[in-house]
Structure 1
Amino acid sequence: MKSILFLCTGNSCRSQMAHGFANKILAEQFDCYSAGVESHGLNPTAVQVMQEVGIDISNHKSNTLDEYQNKDFDYVVAVCEHAANNCPTFTQKNQLIKRQFDDPPKLAKEATSHEEALNHYRRVRDEIQNWVSGLTRLNHTRDT
């Protein structure tokens, strides 16, 4: 089975959401992982908005790339610019995919209410879900 890693700055929000959706949508095609350039801990609001759509990521751990030094991924998806720019060189076997999503915690800081903050998380969550759903074609476009 092929493997896919979702990479973000702190593995706390966007990469965790992508990992959660991938586990639900792509589990028959991919072993799914997430990591950060550094570890910021799991974002509780990300956990909350994922639970709203029936996905529990509360047991996820905020991992760093160091924890996967010996793992060979077929695909690495950088979900933010910082991760894409600081992504280490992986083997020739894998493919780096850069797909940036807005940073919900950063957007939430500007929110004037808790509901407005949640809506930022929800919007990004839904964008990630839609994009991850399209990844089913990856397994059909590359030879093993």
Structure 2
Amino acid sequence: MDSSKDNILFICKNNSSRSQMAEAILNSIYGEKYNVFSGGLEPTKVNKYAIKSLKEINIDITENYSKNLDIFKNKEFKYVITLCDDGKCPYFPNAEKNIHKSFKDPNRIEGNEEDIFNEFRKCRNEIKKWIIDMIENGVI
């Protein structure tokens, strides 16, 4: 980890989709500027559709795993960004600045494989656009 870079932590409840996608997207586009992490309160396995949707844009997270926020408790972050949409995002105290952005949880979609995958694509695209906008507008 490069100590000259700002640390950013993305959080959602399970660290299985939204926070994993945000971490990977920010790393792939602006990794030279930031140390990027993700975690959750109740980590579960990284969602296969999150993996597949990122692979579509040439980002490989097949080796990623979901992490509990406890592993970050002694680490300082410039930004902690919560991505939950149900109002139950955890608060993480070790941040200079807390940001919240609600993204619909693609894990909640019901339907066939195509419907579910399309929801993950949509979420991925929304996260990517939001990250680029945040960087270009100097918010982070």
TM-score if structure 2 supplies the norm length? 0.88
Q: Is there any run of 5+ residues in structure 1 with no aligned partner, and where?
A: none
Distance of aligned partners of 1:83 and 1:56 in 2 relative to their CA distance in 1, 3 Å threshold:
farther
**Which of 26, 29, 36 matches 1:25?**
29
Match of 2:52 in 1: 48
What per-residue deviation string (whole Å, max 9, x for no partner) do you get for residues 73-103 of structure 1?
0000001145764213235xx1100001011
Match of 1:95 in 2: 97
What per-residue deviation string (whole Å, max 9, x for no partner) do you get for residues 14-49 of structure 1?
000000101111212110000011211211111011
Q: What is the Cα deviation at residue 134 of structure 1?
A: 2.1
- Which 10-residue stretch deviates more, 66-75 or 81-90? 81-90
Match of 1:135 in 2: 134
Contact between 1:15 and 1:34, CA under 8 Å: does it hold in 2?
yes
What per-residue deviation string (whole Å, max 9, x for no partner) do you get for residues 84-131 of structure 1?
64213235xx11000010111102xx22x2111111111011001111
Contact between 1:37 and 1:87, CA under 8 Å: does it hold in 2?
no
Contact between 2:83 and 2:89, CA under 8 Å: does it hold in 1?
no
Q: What is the Cα deviation at residue 9 of structure 1?
A: 0.3
3-state SS of the aligned residue for 2:114? Answer: helix
Match of 1:106 in 2: 108
3-state SS of the aligned residue for 1:74? Answer: strand
Contact between 1:19 and 1:33, CA under 8 Å: does it hold in 2?
yes
Match of 2:9 in 1: 5
Q: Distance in 2 between matches of 1:12 and 1:40?
A: 6
Count of residues in correspondence between the two structures: 136
- Identical aligned residues as a percent: 32
Q: Which one has a larger percent helix, Structure 1 or Structure 2?
A: 1
Q: Is there any run of 5+ residues in structure 2 with no aligned partner, and where?
A: none
TM-score if structure 1 supplies the norm length? 0.86
Distance of aligned partners of 1:124 and 1:68 in 2 relative to their CA distance in 1, 3 Å threshold:
same
What per-residue deviation string (whole Å, max 9, x for no partner) do you get for residues 54-79 of structure 1?
10111112001101111100000001
Match of 1:36 in 2: 40
Q: Distance in 1 between matches of 2:61 and 2:89?
A: 26
One-letter code aligned to 1:30: Y
Match of 1:121 in 2: 120
